[in-house]
Amino acid sequence: MSLDFLVDSSILVTGGTGSFGQAFVKTLLMKSGAKRIIVFSRDELKQHEMKITFAEHRDRLRFFIGDVRDLDRLKRAFQGVDYVVHAAALKQVPALEYNPTEAIKTNILGTENVVNAAIEKGVKKVLLISTDKAANPANLYGATKLCAEKLVVNSNFYSGLGGTKLSVVRYGNVFGSRGSIIGVIAKQKASGEITITDEKMTRFWITLDQGIEFVLDSLNDMRGGEIFIPKIPSMGIKDLIQVCAPGCRLKYIGIRPGEKLHESLITPEEARNVREFDNHYIIFPDYQDDKWWDESDNYIRGKEVPEGFFFASHKNDKWLDEEGLKKLLDMLE
């Protein structure tokens, strides 16, 4: 992973105090030559804690208290910024089912604000962090992230050739992120009983470090309008629990509101615009003949996927076994 493209640049992370944001900022500080790294978030306590944690990097690190719902604040924060990684979102599926307008204000209208501020301030590239729940969404969170993806991809129309480039990264569940199932299992383990929704449930899995590397590679490669999707493994939730909490009883509680049995990263409808590469897929925009689309020669080596192709967690070629999961868990310690 070469980060030469970030040398002497300014990069801003919305949601920069979240699990991804903090790990991403740490990677930028330790491995990139970016001259200015900006954390944009609503959480002043976590910003204060990050200032202490990264005190030795205070000459490169900046903090903006703000909300993506506030367009004027975003415009001020984006002044002189080269790259924006948009990770801010409301994410808890059950909570958003009961608070739909809040999800819309942050995940959709907030993304619209990020796009508009970036184009107005001449940001070079914007990369949205999305989720497998955006593919054929069954809950409000997924629906808002699908809308966010459409806003980002199609905003290239009015950014135009030579203007701000906007793309998307879409991946699955993140090991070790705040509120992840790994933490839930760890808390319940002491009781000897673990709650499970359905024994057939499967999910895609990626580590924070893998996600960060993929985001940085995508930020470097993007030409605007792509959705980048990593080839990541699946694992059944029941198998995950049995490895993380061996000997514990399972209590079946049923699928929660808005929850899927399996997740998808690429739908059959998207497959006609998909090309496959060694370690990832790219969904190309529908309107590739428009003036803003400037396909790189690097994409020519990608191969088309078969008709009817889809990438779902229960129909995956790559599966995590017990040994593979334990290696990932060791990485969290």
What is the full DSSP assignment across 191-229? Answer: TTEEEES-TT-EEEEEEHHHHHHHHHHHHHH--SS-EEE
SS3 percent helix, strand, coil of the chain, rounded to 5, is: 40, 20, 35
Mean pLDDT, all residues of the chain: 91
Q: Which residue, among 281, 279, 280, has the nearest Cα to 270 in the 3D structure?
A: 281
7-171+206-231+265-304 CATH choice from 3.90.650.10, 3.40.47.10, 3.40.50.2300, 3.40.50.720: 3.40.50.720
Query: Looking at residues 185-208, what average pLDDT do you find?
Result: 91
pLDDT reported for residue 298: 65
**Position of tokens 């604000």?**
113
Cα-based distances in Å from 112 to 42, 72, 330 = 18, 13, 39
| Confidence at 323, pLDDT banded by 50, 70, 90 | confident
Token digits of residue 317:
């070629």
Q: Is the pLDDT of residue 296 over 80?
A: no
Specify the DSSP element, H or E, that contains 126. strand 125-131
Bridge partners (DSSP) listed for residue 170: 130
pLDDT reported for residue 181: 81
pLDDT digits (tens, 9 = 90+) for 127-157: 999 999 999 999 999 999 999 999 999 999 8
Report the C-alpha gap between 34 and 17 in whole angstroms. 18
pTM of the shown model: 0.94
Report the C-alpha gap between 240 and 106 in whole angstroms. 32
Share of the chain above pLDDT 90, in %: 72
pLDDT reported for residue 288: 59
pLDDT digits (tens, 9 = 90+) for 174-186: 886 776 788 888 8
Active site residues: 133
Report the C-alpha gap between 19 and 163 in whole angstroms. 31
Listed in sequence order, the DSSP H helices in the chain are 19-31, 44-53, 71-77, 93-98, 100-103, 110-121, 140-154, 156-159, 181-189, 208-221, 237-244, 322-332
pLDDT reported for residue 255: 87
Give the N- to C-terminal CA distance of the chain in Å, as an integer.
Answer: 23
**Position of tokens 């990020």?**
114
